[in-house]
Amino acid sequence: MRITRRRPPRCPAARAGRAPAPAVIHPERTGDPAVLRWVVHGVELPFVGPLLGAPGLDELLGAELTAVEAVPGALLVTAAPGGSWRELGPRARTALVTALGRIGAWAPGPGARRLGPDETLRWCARELIDGPVGEIAAAHGGSIELVGARDGVVTVRMHGACRGCPAAVLTMRQRLETQLRRRVPGMRAVEEA
């Protein structure tokens, strides 16, 4: 007698030849121990500003989380007083991934506003240039200036030791461009002015 295993039904996206891409997130510390910054990769957030409700997060909001604020490329999540991120972290991650899978059902708070793709790209590029990518350039005696962001293309200007340096091109491509591609869907290229 031959036993065959039956495969589970595939989702519509998989039947069409493409797998649904789950949101990829990772937490970063902020200056406030109650607030974690969850960096979001591959999903464009629908707005910036306070988030009043979202599928998956609704059970945690109010009791274990006091606030969730969307910023370009990330969510700032505040734990309730006395809350421990060590204990809350796994539940918050699960809730955030669920919410990111259903961004159309998010309820924006007062002052929330939609960002255009160029503004989102510019904001994320500024954050990386002012942060980890700029720190690499500064460690080598140079700097990177953001000139602009338009139609998926970020334009930068290299200064100091970075100007004309072959390693600066690697930093620009491997660090800045790769990280921007993860954070901003539709990002096409980084070019030097």
Kindly report, residue by residue over 54-110, the tens digit of the pLDDT: 999 999 998 899 999 999 889 999 999 999 999 999 999 999 999 999 999 999 999
**Edge-to-edge strand list for the sheet holding 24-29:** 24-29, 35-41, 74-79, 65-71, 49-53, 107-108
Give the residue from 59, 80, 108 where a domain finishes: 108
Q: Please report whether residue 12 resides in a domain.
A: no
d(CA 2, CA 24) in angstroms, rounded, equals: 41
- Kindly give, in sequence order, each residue whose CB lies less than 8 Å from that of residue 19, ignoring residues fewer than 6 positions away: 13
Residue 179 in domain: yes
Looking at the structure, tell me whether residues 104 and 133 fall in a common domain. no
Residues 24 and 104 reside in one and the same domain: yes
Domain that holds residue 174: 117-192
Report yes or no on whether pTM surpasses 0.75: no
Structure tokens at 78: 């505040």
- Give the H or E element holding residue 17: none
**Tens digit of pLDDT for each residue in 167-183?**
887 777 778 898 888 87
Tell me: do 94 and 27 sit in the same domain: yes
> Is residue 183 situated within a structural domain?
yes
Q: Which of the listed residues 108, 138, 161 is the one where a domain comes to its end?
A: 108
- 28 and 81 co-located in one domain: yes
The answer on 89 and 52 residing in a single domain is yes
